[in-house]
């Protein structure tokens, strides 16, 4: 029993000592906070929406203030595009009639001029058109002779007006039929010959060919040869609706393709569509690009960077901008050692600077370094 009593006395003494120590620590902490708060209230004071920093506050030496100025800013607008052949410089050629290929004049890579022969087709349909043309030509010539004879009779007073009018009508109808058939044949650059000679409609290079002598083609068959002139190409890209105001026809464009990553390629804006794509909210842009080495091939993807005109904007260092939830703000100087929080709206410009869309004006002075020391004053 005596031993247990001694144990209780020792424990009570230890608890009393611990309680006294804890109270001492708490009182010391409260005194330190009170002193810090007192010092803080002496160094930084609030006056409505403004804060005033005491001259003795060492924070002043860490704060850097600069005036806000306008300076040129460039909008970095980029997109991807698809290289296309210019329509007038590109032709896919098929046989207009069913028939069998009897001769080929070109192969892939050959350079051809407009009107150059490509291949010949033996076609019964084409022969029928030629026969119709020959018949129409004969009928036209006979009708012309008849009309001339009736005019001559009428001139000498022995003809009949009704016969003259009928011969004139027959001659006009015959001429119209001949003209229609002649136009049809001219489309194929041929009016004579047993075989249909298919010619190139444009100058360029043969970029693909499926011509095989003896192969039978239907009149609805796919094109068998492609001609393209690729010294100039188009690049089709899209620009968001919000950026279109910065781009105009004739603007310079930088282009990069994966096949030649180290080769600088330039072009210019050729056409801007008038209608916005409702799904993407963007406008289609056509860029014309010189391609003397034929490196750019239709179907390639390209990265496009538009060279926009500079715009006068308020640009400030990114480090000057503070964040409070979803709001951004800066400290604006309103007097000697006097500052006010100013909410702003920004747009990213580069790694170090931001463009201020609203909230600041030229001539304002803001803290560009040391803003973090004023956080406790809020």
> Does pTM surpass 0.75?
no
3-class state of residue 131 by DSSP: helix
Structure tokens at 314: 């308020």
pLDDT digits (tens, 9 = 90+) for 171-192: 788 788 777 767 666 666 555 5
β pairing state of 99-104 and 216-217 = antiparallel
How confident is the model at residue 134, as a pLDDT? 76
pLDDT band, residue 221 (cuts 50/70/90): confident
How confident is the model at residue 226, as a pLDDT? 94
How confident is the model at residue 138, as a pLDDT? 84
Q: Are 316 and 310 in contact (CB under 8 A)?
A: no
pLDDT band, residue 31 (cuts 50/70/90): very low
Cα–Cα distance between 37 and 33 in angstroms, integer? 6
| Angle ∠(110,116,117) on CA atoms, nearest 5 | 95
Backbone angles phi, psi at 90, to 5 degrees: -145, 135
Could you give the domains of the chain?
A: 44-72+313-377 (2.40.420.20), 78-87+229-306 (2.40.30.170), 92-227 (2.40.50.100)
pLDDT digits (tens, 9 = 90+) for 121-142: 998 878 777 777 777 788 888 8
Q: Are 312 and 71 in contact (CB under 8 A)?
A: yes
Structure tokens at 166: 């009928």
pLDDT band, residue 15 (cuts 50/70/90): very low
pLDDT digits (tens, 9 = 90+) for 258-283: 988 888 899 999 999 988 988 888 99
Residue 349 pLDDT more than 50?
A: yes
């Amino acid at each position: 029993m005596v031993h247990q009593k001694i144990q209780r006395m020792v424990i009570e003494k230890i608890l009393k000592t611990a309680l006294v120590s804890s109270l001492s620590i708490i009182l010391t902490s409260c005194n330190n906070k009170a002193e810090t708060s007192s010092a803080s209230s002496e160094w930084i004071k609030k006056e409505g929406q403004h804060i005033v920093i005491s001259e003795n506050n060492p924070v002043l030496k860490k704060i850097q203030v600069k005036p806000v100025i306008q300076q040129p800013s460039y909008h970095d607008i980029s997109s991807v595009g698809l290289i296309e052949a210019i329509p007038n410089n590109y032709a896919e050629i098929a046989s207009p009639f069913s028939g069998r290929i009897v001769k080929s004049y070109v192969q892939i890579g050959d350079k051809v001029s407009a009107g150059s022969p490509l291949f010949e087709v033996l076609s019964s349909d084409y022969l029928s058109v030629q026969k119709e043309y020959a018949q129409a030509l004969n009928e036209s010539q006979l009708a012309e002779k008849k009309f001339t004879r009736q005019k001559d009779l009428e001139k000498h007073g022995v003809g009949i007006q009704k016969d003259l009018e009928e011969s004139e009508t027959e001659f006009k109808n015959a001429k119209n039929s001949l003209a229609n058939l002649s136009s049809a044949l001219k489309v194929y650059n041929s009016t004579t010959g047993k075989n249909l000679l298919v010619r190139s409609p444009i100058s360029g290079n043969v970029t693909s060919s499926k011509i095989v002598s003896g192969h039978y083609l239907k009149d609805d068959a796919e094109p068998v040869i492609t001609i393209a002139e690729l010294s100039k190409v188009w690049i089709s890209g899209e620009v968001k609706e919000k950026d279109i105001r910065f781009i105009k026809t004739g603007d310079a464009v930088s282009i990069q393709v994966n096949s030649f990553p180290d080769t600088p390629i330039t072009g210019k804006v050729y056409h801007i569509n008038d209608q916005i794509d409702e799904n993407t909210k963007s406008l289609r842009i056509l860029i014309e690009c010189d391609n003397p080495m034929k490196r750019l091939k239709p179907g390639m993807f390209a990265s496009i960077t538009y060279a926009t005109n500079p715009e006068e904007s308020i640009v400030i260092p990114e480090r000057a901008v503070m964040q409070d939830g979803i709001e951004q703000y800066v400290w604006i100087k309103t007097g000697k050692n006097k500052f006010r929080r100013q909410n702003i709206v920004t747009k990213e410009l580069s790694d170090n600077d931001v463009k201020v869309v609203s909230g600041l004006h030229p001539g304002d002075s803001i803290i560009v370094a040391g803003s973090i020391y004023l956080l406790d004053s809020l």
